[in-house]
Structure 1
Amino acid sequence: MAEDVLQELQAHFRGAVVARDGAPDTTEPRAAWNAMHTDSPAIATRCSGAADVVDAVRFAREHGLLVGVRGGGHSVGGLSTIRDGMLIDLSAMRGVQVDPVRRLAHVQGGALLGDVDRETQAFGLATPLGRVSETGVAGLTLGGGYGNLNSKYGLSCDNVVEAQVVTADGRLLTASADENPDLFWALRGGGGNFGIVTSFTFRLHPVGPIVGFVGTFYPLADLAEVERRWRDYVEDAPREVTSFIVTMTFPAAPGMPDVIHDRPVAIVGGVHCGEPEAGMGVLQPLRELGTPLFDMSQPMPYDVMQASFDAFFPRQTLRAYWKSQYLDVLPDEAIDIIAARASERPGPMSLVNTFHLGGAVHDVGTEETAFPERSAPFLVSFDSMWTDPAQDEAAVAWTRSAWEQMRAFGTGAPFLNFTGLADEPLDAGVGAAFGRNLERLRRVKTAYDPENFFRLNNNVLPLA
């Protein structure tokens, strides 16, 4: 593209416009997380605010450029990277403003979870977000948003009360229950199909600053029995409790005991978001599911707990391919397969996880938001992660094989935010994930993006 054309864009652009020669940009402010996806755009627009996003979208349309969008850059499927075309980078837009009286947080589209927790916890408030503080708020929320407060307060998307969105024609719109309600419905779980969210307004809840936390390490060999007892506990747990099991080979991390160094373990995690001392009593059974190797359970600052898994997800280090499956029940036969697969993971950094879902997540109707999965109590995720490109084919094949085994017990619906892309099309799994909401999503897509301008996502196609 001619230099004078780029200079015209830069002339009234507050952020930086960076033209590339095809080589990775080592000055990139926020690299994409998954090292399998390192494509470089022809142009990166590093937006400073909503006006820059409007200009970037209009420029891309005028010049016929394919557009990719990066908020947190934590997409497992590499959906925040783009080959050639234009990357619209929101990583400088990470401001968070808290209204403690109205219990609202205004969050820019490039903010990370840790940015939000940092500001809201100053007032003893929080909104449901994920479990890795380096994750981007936008991608997490637009795809649903599972985390440590779900049972009590629902999904991230359930707590959005308003969004500012730049649509495919370069308009800046407000989406809420009162303005553009069809767009508001679609944004809450429908992914990045409908525009670029430059800011969210979230509902906040009293949480912390200290919460009850369980982190109990059991031998991986005991997983089957531990998970059976865990299942029986979570099915009757109060709404203040959100819990999960992570299986991994724990590294020789400084400050952690030798007994878990480089050892395959099953970590039972749980958070009680009510009064911490009473919460520790409620969580106590999770610490007694077997004979622990190590137990780090304790009352803990909420924001510290939210960042406790960050070290296992470094940027541009791990190659990743994940697949997930919802389960209406978690029978012993499924647990046996989970345990067997966890014992043969494709490398020490790979995870096999089981999450309990319920409470406030299930209070929302299937069609109240675009995110339709409101009944399954369990989600099983096979998160293969490795570092050697020579392992790509074997790791992807293992993940697909494990997922196929779990399908016998699943609903057939995946969680799209936990879906990797290797040779799959961008709309892979979309029909199964959205179910009967897909047709309505396609109508909204047609209304706001009839040419599929925003298509580097879990793509919902406009109506023909």
Structure 2
Amino acid sequence: MTSSSDPRLASLEIFIQEHPTIQYATATSPNYSTLRATYTLDNPAIPFAIVRPQNAEDVAAAVKFAKANGIKPVVRSGGNSLFWKSMVQDSFVIDMRDIAYVNINKLKTSATVGGGILFGDLGEHLTNEGLATALGTIPFIGYVGWSTYGGYGPFSAQYGLGCDNIIGAKVVNWRGEVIEADSDLLRCIRGAGGAFGPVVELTVKLYPLKNILAGLIIYDSTDIATTIQNFNSGYQKLSIEGLPPALCALQMVLNSPYGKIFACTFIWGSDDHETGQTYLAKIAALGQVVNNTVAPNTIAGYLQQLKAMVPPNAYGSIETISIRKLNAEALAVIARNIEKMPQVDGANFFMHELRGPSATPNPESIFGPREPHMVLELIKTVAEQRDLKRAEDWVGTFIDELRKMDPRNILPSTYISITKPGSNSFKNIFGPSNYEVLLEMKRKYDPEGTFDLAQPEVNSLK
């Protein structure tokens, strides 16, 4: 806790007097717990102060204040880091969520978005204009944090990853200046996010899209291991035939009141619903369907549906590994551990597929795994703290078995946003050549380590 005799408090009081529109809180403020709340309920960090700037100039002033008072700044966009990156002990938290504008250009080919915009709000703005961009599926996640660190999502196969849709950025640098990112800095922002300073604005590509097909297909899971095996055998045959870019079929295993269920989130990101219905039938035919909620919708409408399904907070975190193929060995490990999955709310398993344009080399980004692959998410974010150990034990065994598989099928890289600190090296995550670029740009754009609490951490880049 910050002492009332802390000289930084006097400096903060002067700072707020000079910037009266900035909302703030310290540990003794009545609104502190509200501003401090994040997705993770088990983060014990008590930041020195939390500020909510209203524009880029406020962010620049906040960075200058932090430097002048020897306090490390931390940037929060959505506050959903499962490894507590947006709320750090004794830090100066710059909460971007009031900077949440969306400005669409006249040609409707791009938009500038504020550094605190959330998926749900961005989706609503774009839907109202009959437009889309690369997005994820959880409405309360911050778009800038998601996109700049990679950004897997249901539109990756047709639009690319979130980072591949960034065409411009404004950043507050280590001196506390608002700058336009040049090509070198922009390349690094596309994959390494806010490691070079708070991203106060992005310019992103837009695409025409009015309506989608979206929903959940739940398969008979009486013999869940066989269901998973059969689904993937059929899905691989469809993949060999060729899958359209508009198709996303996200596999998952969830705990429900009726037991474990294997399901597929189906999203068809095109106004051509006739073709979409054809592929919906093909995906549905990969198992015995017990419920199918897929229906015409908008991006905004679907995000609102998901908001009601996803808890706003939880205890715990996640493990991840990326593999090239769902081969027989991988499927056997997955099926075996799914059968062991404890019946607790929040112990889940997801698989994201990367194919299409983002799965090919991109010299304008330092995002690492540019080849087709599957991201496996072993989730231990439970609703009740008493269930956390059971979920952690299950995930620990599961990830150990996955890491012991044939190394030729395992990517060195893992998705940085869901990679537990210390479980993989940044050289692996970004790849050797991109890692060297990252080191060089970090020395150039953050020479004093002002933003060394951002991911990747400057102290790890040595």
- TM-score (structure 2 length as normaliser): 0.90
Which whole-Å CA distance do the structure 1 matches of 2:129 and 2:454 have between them?
35
Query: Match for 2:300 among 299, 303, 312?
Result: 303
Alignment partner, residue 25 of structure 1: 32
Q: Residues of 2 paired with 1:23 and 1:7: CA distance?
A: 16
Contact kept in structure 1, 2:345 and 2:383, CA below 8 Å: no
Q: Cα gap change, 1:49/1:24 in structure 2, threshold over 3 Å: closer, same or farther?
A: closer
Instruction: Please state how far the C-alpha of 1:212 moved relative to its aligned partner.
Output: 2.3
Q: Which residue of 2 aligns with 1:255?
A: none
Give, as a single letter, the amino acid of the residue that structure 2 aligns with 1:17: Y
Distance 1:79 1:428 in 2: 16
**Structure 1: runs of 5 or more not aligned:** 251-260
Query: In the alignment, residue 248 of structure 1 is paired with which amino acid?
Result: L
Matched length: 442
Alpha-carbon distance in structure 1 between the residues aligned to 2:115 and 2:53:
10
How do residues 5-404 of structure 1 correspond to structure 2 at under 5 angstroms? 5-13=11-19, 14-21=21-28, 25-28=32-35, 31-175=37-181, 180-208=182-210, 210-220=211-221, 221=224, 222-235=227-240, 236-250=242-256, 261-274=257-270, 275-316=272-313, 318-346=314-342, 347-363=344-360, 365-404=361-400
User: Aligned-pair distance for 1:213?
Assistant: 2.5
CA distance in 2, matches of 1:262, 1:97: 45
State the SS of the aligned residue for 1:400: helix
Do the aligned residues in 2 keep the contact of 1:366 with 1:372 (CA within 8 Å)? no
Moved more, 227-236 or 182-191: 227-236
Deviation for aligned residue 1:461: 3.0
Letter in 1 for 2:263: I
Q: Could you say what secondary structure the match of 1:369 adopts?
A: coil
Considering only aligned residues, what root-mean-square deviation do their CA atoms show, in Å? 2.2
CA contact (8 A) 2:217 2:266 kept: no
Unaligned runs of 5+ in 2: 1-5
Distance of 1:396 and 1:285 partners within structure 2: 36
Q: What amino acid sits opposite 2:451 in the alignment?
A: F
Within the candidate set 430, 435, 439, 1:442 is matched to 439
More helix, by proportion: 2
For 1:5 and 1:355, locate their aligned partners in 2 and report how far apart those are by CA, in whole Å: 47
Q: Are the aligned partners of 1:214 and 1:287 in contact in 2 as well (CA < 8 Å)?
A: no
Partners of 2:366 and 2:180 in 1: CA distance: 17
How far apart, CA to CA, are the structure 1 residues paired with 2:389 and 2:317?
A: 10
1:392 Cα deviation after fit: 4.1
- Deviation digits for residues 282-307 of structure 1 (CA, Å, limit 9, x no counterpart): 22111111111111122222222234
- Identity across aligned pairs (percent)? 24
Q: CA deviation at 1:214?
A: 4.8
Letter in 1 for 2:303: Q
Contact 2:368–2:413 at 8 Å: present in 1 too? no
Name the CA shift for 1:107/1:348 in 2 (closer, same or farther; >3 Å): same
Conserved 8 A contact 1:23-1:40? no
Which residue in the other structure is 2:3 paired with?
A: none
Contact 1:223 1:339 survives alignment (8 Å): yes
User: Which amino acid letter does the alignment assign opposite residue 216 of structure 1?
Assistant: I
Name the CA shift for 1:343/1:25 in 2 (closer, same or farther; >3 Å): farther
State the 1:312 CA deviation. 4.3
Residue 418 (structure 1) aligns with:
418
Contact 1:248 1:265 in 2 (8 A): yes
Question: Partner of 1:118: helix, strand, or coil?
Answer: helix
